[in-house]
Amino acid sequence: MKKPMQISLRAGERIYVNGAVLRARQKTTIELLNEAHFLLETHIIQPEDATSPLRQLYFALQTILIEPTSESAEEAYMRMYASTVKSFTTTEIVVGLRQVGELVSLGRIFEALKTLRALFETEERVLRPAAKVA
């Protein structure tokens, strides 16, 4: 049997579990006793924050996790993934995107989101215009 996962929540913090939104009234720790798809509120990005290709891809994936029956989110993810993979040449991002694709195909959305989050800083450097030298 797999060891239960413990998640600590602050008062008022939300967690998304298998499409349900739960809010802690007070500081608490919960245990997930079986396999579940979840996302902590701190990992959620709002639509207005999806301002780059990787963040848009992240938003589509988080929507799949939050709303598991959303076919439109899956379609959006697949379209975005195909175009995003083609748009980057930076090795770290290309390798990370391939890993994201593999994780998603295995149904490991949370891990794919974690991989994407780790690429945000690199993407920002790549997309940021080079500073002008005076």
Question: Which amino acid type is present at position 114?
Answer: K
Question: At a CB cut-off of 8 Å and minimum separation 6, what does 28 contact?
Answer: 8, 9
| Single pTM value for the model | 0.81
User: Which strand ranges, in their side-by-side order, compose the sheet holding 20-23?
Assistant: 20-23, 14-17, 38-40
User: How many Cβ atoms sit within 10 Å of the Cβ of residue 68?
Assistant: 13
| pLDDT string in tens for the chain (134-residue length) | 577 788 899 999 998 887 788 899 999 998 988 877 788 888 899 899 999 999 999 999 999 888 877 788 889 999 999 999 999 999 999 999 999 999 999 988 889 999 999 999 999 999 887 554 44
